[in-house]
Structure formats: structure tokens, C-alpha cells
């Protein structure tokens, strides 16, 4: 199963944004587990229930994304020009693999806010 990030425009229920978040295992390991560990209400729900946010919750999601990215930055050390290694044995993936997904989610938040839409992940 793969998770995607969607933005739906309210006025006509049209999806105007669609980008991948990751496969089942990726979303669990890189998003759900750290979000749950940090107590991030919205991001920790993605794996189990998906996510559907709009309005003020988009700001909350943005704040949670900042917290998750800060967590990731503390868990990885640079070992070369573009390589990182984990400093936490339970996180054995490379940080740069998730960077594009962070950008997708940030872009989706911005678009949903601009069009008064909802952001969905499922």
C-alpha cells in the first residue's frame, strides 16, 4: 500500500494536488513512529487512520512537520557531501530520502490554505 498527499478544493471537490508520501513501511518508520514518539497528534494518525485537515489544523500540521524535521535533523549526522548516517539504531534510513516528501507536504499545506481546501493523506 502506498500513501499519497492530496489537496481537495472545497467548492467542487476536485483534487488539485497529488504527490506520494511513501509506502506502508516507509510511512510507518519515517513518519508515524517518530511522530508518535514526539506526541504529534496529526502526523501520528496518518498511518492508522489517514488524515483529513483544513482551516486552523493546517497550521497545526505545519508546526508538527517543523517538529518532525527538527527531530530528524538531530538524529542524523553528515558523513559526506550528500550522505547522512543515523545516530539512532532504530532509524536505519537516509535523511535525504525523506526530504522531497517534506517539500511535498509543505507545498500541499500552502495550496490547501490558499484555496481554502482540505489536505488529505491516505
5 phi and psi angles, rounded to 5 deg? -105, 125
pLDDT at 106: 96
Instruction: Band the pLDDT of 100: cuts 50, 70, 90.
Output: confident
Please state the pTM of the whole predicted model. Answer: 0.83
Q: Which of these ranges, 14-18, 56-60, 61-65, 73-77, has the smallest mean pLDDT?
A: 73-77
pLDDT tens-place string over residues 23-37: 998 899 889 999 999
How many CA atoms does the CB half-sphere of 60 hold within 13 Å?
14
DSSP 19-30: EEEEEHHHIIII
Long-range contacts made by residues 102-106, C-beta under 8 angstroms, separation at least 24?
102/65, 102/69, 104/5, 104/19, 104/20, 104/21, 105/5, 105/21, 105/61, 105/65, 106/62, 106/65
Instruction: Answer yes or no: is pLDDT of 82 > 70.
Output: no
Question: If we measure between CA atoms, which residue out of 4, 1, 16 comes closest to residue 118?
Answer: 16
Separation CA 54–CA 61 (nearest Å):
10
pLDDT at residue 29, rounded to an integer: 85
pLDDT number for residue 74 = 77
The answer to whether the beta carbons of residues 30 and 16 sit under 8 Å apart is no
* CA–CA gap between residue 2 and residue 88 (Å, rounded): 26
C-alpha cell recorded at residue 59: 497550521
Q: What is the pLDDT of residue 8?
A: 97
Write down the pLDDT at residue 95: 53
Amino acid at each position: 500500500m502506498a500513501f499519497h498527499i492530496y489537496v481537495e478544493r472545497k467548492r467542487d471537490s476536485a483534487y488539485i494536488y497529488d504527490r506520494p508520501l511513501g509506502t506502508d513501511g516507509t510511512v510507518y518508520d519515517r513518519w508515524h513512529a517518530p511522530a508518535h514518539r514526539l506526541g504529534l497528534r496529526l502526523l501520528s494518525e496518518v498511518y492508522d487512520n489517514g488524515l483529513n485537515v483544513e482551516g486552523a489544523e493546517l497550521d497545526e500540521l505545519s508546526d508538527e512537520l517543523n517538529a518532525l524535521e527538527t527531530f530528524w535533523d538531530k538524529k542524523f549526522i553528515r558523513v559526506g557531501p550528500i550522505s547522512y548516517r543515523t545516530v539512532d539504531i532504530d532509524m536505519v534510513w537516509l535523511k535525504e530520502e525523506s526530504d522531497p516528501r517534506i517539500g511535498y507536504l509543505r507545498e500541499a499545506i500552502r495550496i490547501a490554505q490558499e484555496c481554502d481546501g482540505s489536505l488529505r493523506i491516505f
